[in-house]
Structure 1
Amino acid sequence: MDQNNHQGWFGEAFVAVLAAAAGLQHAKPYPDLGIDLQVIRSHPDPALEARVELQVKAQRVDDPGNLGGAVTVRLEAHQYRRLTGRRQVPAYLVAVVVPRDRQNFAQASEQALRLNHSAYWVSLEHDPYTLGPEQKTLTVTVPTKNLLTTAVLHDLLDQVTSEGSLL
């Protein structure tokens, strides 16, 4: 598998592992129309069920400890449009920072499985960038203060149930 496909697949698996660790479901929509994963909280009380959609982009870096406060992600125009505006199912951009050498994506031992390095998220609901009508790509900044964790996944789903549906 070429490196770009490998890192993209690993990025999605990285987020899926976080969802599983949080006790949440995840699903991969087919065909991929700009959303890579859905993270879902099922609950016996339908009012507490929630879903968010994620566009996952993996970025190779040399020094993950020195990101300068942000990760930049290049999106195609159709991917960006899929993440902007108020939606029935909230959508987020997730940047997964991976090692430059794909042999270092994960280390397994009898005590632990370590996935390298980290994931960050941002909402583009309020369309912070201007996309020209002929523009094909856009660079988006994802702040590293928005570390994606199991607790954050629950918080994003809690926001869905507290805000209610748009229907």
Structure 2
Amino acid sequence: MGRIEAVNDDTFTAFMEQLQEGYVAAVAATAGCAMESVRRDVYGMDALLVRPPEGVGKQEVSVFAQLKNTTTLRPDPKKDTFGYQLKKREYFDRLALQRKDPKAILIVMATSVRQADWTKASHDRLEVSHCCYWVSLEGQAAKEGVESQTVRIPTANVFDANALANILDKLDRGESLNEY
């Protein structure tokens, strides 16, 4: 087996993003949704997750997602939450906006520093090491005078197909995503 190592920091970060996009796309497909990448990061959002209409006369349901991937934290499932620092205040501000539609969530992936550990394949599965967690920051207030905002993410909010379906169901019913 060949060695898999990051060539340099620039490619490592790009491949971290690619890994997370693949994870989120796989979750969306499993939940019967499309993941549309936002090509230009104009609004601070990286993807739009869309569930098609469930019948004639119905509308699709969608949610924006800002994707962040980090090698600096390892969420402890025994704890209720973990902290993630958004480096730019504008990222927090855009996620905290009271939006009409579509709403927005933050999806954070905790990734190994060893690129070779990211996936393992066998004849019956592809495993992705570590996972993504989601949180809605809508309506939360930023700390005044602080550029980097630390957000608390519930460890129970593992981003999988059931979580995405529940998020979209709540949005379809007009419910808040801030009630866990």
Q: TM-score range by the shorter chain?
A: 0.7 to 0.9
2:33 to 16, 20, 24: 24
- 1:1-167 matched pairs, under 5 angstroms: 2-33=11-42, 34-43=44-53, 44-60=55-71, 68-75=79-86, 76-87=88-99, 88-132=101-145, 135-163=146-174
Structure 1 CA distance for aligned equivalents of residues 167 and 49 of structure 2: 10
After superposition, the Cα gap between the structure-2 partners of 1:40 and 1:66, relative to the gap in structure 1 and judged at 3 Å, is: closer
1:64/1:117 contact within 8 Å kept:
no
Structure 2 CA distance for aligned equivalents of residues 5 and 46 of structure 1: 41
What residue identity is the alignment partner of 1:145?
Answer: A
SS of the equivalent of 1:58 reads strand
How many percent identity over aligned positions?
25
Aligned length: 162
Structure 1 CA distance for aligned equivalents of residues 159 and 74 of structure 2: 19
1:21/1:150 contact within 8 Å kept:
yes
Structure 2 unaligned residues grouped into runs of 5+: 1-9, 176-180
Q: What TM-score, normalized to structure 2?
A: 0.79
Task: Give the superposition deviation at 1:47.
Answer: 2.9
Task: Give the superposition deviation at 1:8.
Answer: 2.2
2:76/2:82 contact within 8 Å kept:
no
Structure 2 CA distance for aligned equivalents of residues 61 and 106 of structure 1: 18
Task: Give the superposition deviation at 1:105.
Answer: 0.8
| Farther-moved stretch of structure 1 (67-76 vs 104-113) | 67-76
Identify the structure with the greater strand proportion: 1
Greater radius of gyration (CA): 2
How large is the RMSD of aligned CA atoms in angstroms?
Answer: 2.2
What residue identity is the alignment partner of 1:26?
Answer: M
Q: What TM-score, normalized to structure 1?
A: 0.85
Task: Give the superposition deviation at 1:57.
Answer: 0.9
